[in-house]
Amino acid sequence: MKAVILGTTGYTGMILLRLLADHPDVDEIIPVSSSRFGQPAASVDPGIGKAIEKKQGLCKGNLVTLEEAIAMKPDVVFAGLPHLESAKICQPFFGKSVVIDLSADFRIKDHKLFAQAYGQEPPCPELLPQSVYGLCEVYADQIKKADIIANPGCYPTCTLLPVIPLAKAGLLKGKIVANALSGISGSGRKAKVQSLFCERTENTCAYLPGQTHRHFTEILSQIATFDSGLDLFFTPHLVPLKRGMEVTTVVDLAKPVTNDEVLHIYQDFYGDRPFVNLVPGTLPETKNVWGSNRCDISWQVQGSTILLFSVIDNLVKGASGQAVQNMNIRFGFKETAGLSLYGEL
Ligand SMILES: NC(=O)c1ccc[n+]([C@@H]2O[C@H](COP(=O)([O-])OP(=O)(O)OC[C@H]3O[C@@H](n4cnc5c(N)ncnc54)[C@H](OP(=O)(O)O)[C@@H]3O)[C@@H](O)[C@H]2O)c1
């Protein structure tokens, strides 16, 4: 299995480099960089040590150009690139390799909704019908056959995993109020004043509240697939963590239910899926999933309202880990291959 990484010097690209270096079914990694081609791949991440040496193939351990990567005919392409650029840059691979796009370019099929969220038409609209939303625990059957996989955003992953089973069961009504806390790596590695240590340390704020964040559209359109009567207020917050995401979701119940009945709904929906960890009776913490591909979920019924709590590592289950999980499902590898079930202490 030959795997290309596009955008290797970005955060999701760097995590992909580490995950694929440890993946038992990936023989060759082709790391592409538009800014640092020709340099050793290990210079992007000295912490990776010698791990990628055995998988360097024709690249000889160096970052390569897009053109060189196309000529190497990869089986799978991971695109850790900015929205609105990604689909265009991936074009030479469509129809030849399986493309797993970590950007939003294929996540919203409705052109108008995409334009509302991203300010322009989707970049490759003709390919949208072929793409599958890569929320692994929900769409595995479609992912198995897909050649374009739209890897979900971190906020949507953490919000949707606790909500979808309950929405599908007809248990929710009215407005879903989701408040999300994100680590700073969620906004990428590119230098920005707002991401500087002095701006973010000892500091927390909400941003793009209610219905204004671009992930609002992605989350609501997925919820609508299971219950079109539900509405959403989604407010993200930046917290002074490098990595990690917590979402607290509050929504009214359509009918009375107990905490045990909710547990059974989740168990029926997720079965023995390895990366959803139900932790009833606790309040999940980001440190427990740091570095793992897990989403920990708990809930509390309080009268006619249910509170949902979910945590992920934004760079793993929220991005590169879920992308590898998508590859595993698509190519019939063990779903957990190359991925950690445990957070790092
Ligand atoms: N960070 C997260 O937690 C997270 C979670 C879910 C989804 N995502 C999505 O995943 C994608 C990558 O995110 P990221 O956090 O890794 O971003 P990032 O750290 O900013 O890295 C993006 C990389 O893309 C390449 N790039 C940038 N502009 C380019 C251009 N115009 N043409 C070609 N290559 C370009 C650069 O790598 P080279 O110079 O090496 O080419 C850059 O380092 C984004 O769409 C993001 O929204 C991120």
pLDDT of residue 53: 84
Closest residue by Cα to atom 25, ligand 1, is 7
210 pLDDT more than 90: no
Q: What is the mean pLDDT of the chain?
A: 96
pLDDT of residue 52: 85
The minimum-distance atom of ligand 1 relative to the CA of 80 is: 12
306 pLDDT more than 90: yes
Q: Tens digit of pLDDT for each residue in 118-173?
A: 999 999 999 999 999 999 999 999 999 999 999 999 999 999 999 999 999 999 99
pLDDT of residue 120: 95
pLDDT of residue 34: 97
Q: Tens digit of pLDDT for each residue in 16-31?
A: 999 999 999 999 999 9
Ligand 1 center to 7 CA (angstroms): 6
pLDDT of residue 8: 97
Site to substitute for ligand 1 among 5, 68, 81, most atoms within 8 A of C-beta? 81
Residues 6+ apart with CB under 8 A from 130: 146, 147, 148
211 pLDDT more than 90: no
Ligand 1 center to 187 CA (angstroms): 9
pLDDT of residue 217: 96
Q: Tens digit of pLDDT for each residue in 82-120?
A: 999 999 999 999 999 999 999 999 999 999 999 999 999
Q: Tens digit of pLDDT for each residue in 181-203?
A: 999 999 999 999 999 999 999 99
- Mean pLDDT, residues 73-85: 97
212 pLDDT more than 90: no
pLDDT of residue 50: 84
Active site residue 154: yes
pLDDT band at 344 (very low <50, low <70, confident <90, very high): confident
pLDDT of residue 159: 98
Pocket of ligand 1 (CB under 6 A): 7-13, 33-36, 80-83, 85, 89, 102-103, 153-154, 185-186, 188-190, 314-315, 318-319
Closest residue by Cα to atom 46, ligand 1, is 103
pLDDT band at 261 (very low <50, low <70, confident <90, very high): very high
pLDDT of residue 343: 84
The percent of residues in the chain predicted with pLDDT above 90, rounded, is 93
pLDDT band at 57 (very low <50, low <70, confident <90, very high): confident
pLDDT of residue 56: 86
pLDDT band at 333 (very low <50, low <70, confident <90, very high): very high
Taking Cα atoms as reference points, which of 186, 113, 100 lies closest to residue 151?
100
Q: Which of 90, 136, 154, 158 is the catalytic position? A: 154
266 pLDDT more than 90: yes
pLDDT of residue 49: 83
pLDDT of residue 137: 98
Taking Cα atoms as reference points, which of 173, 155, 169, 303 lies closest to residue 251?
173
60 pLDDT more than 90: no
List of domains in the chain? 2-152+317-331 (3.40.50.720), 155-314 (3.30.360.10)
pLDDT of residue 183: 96
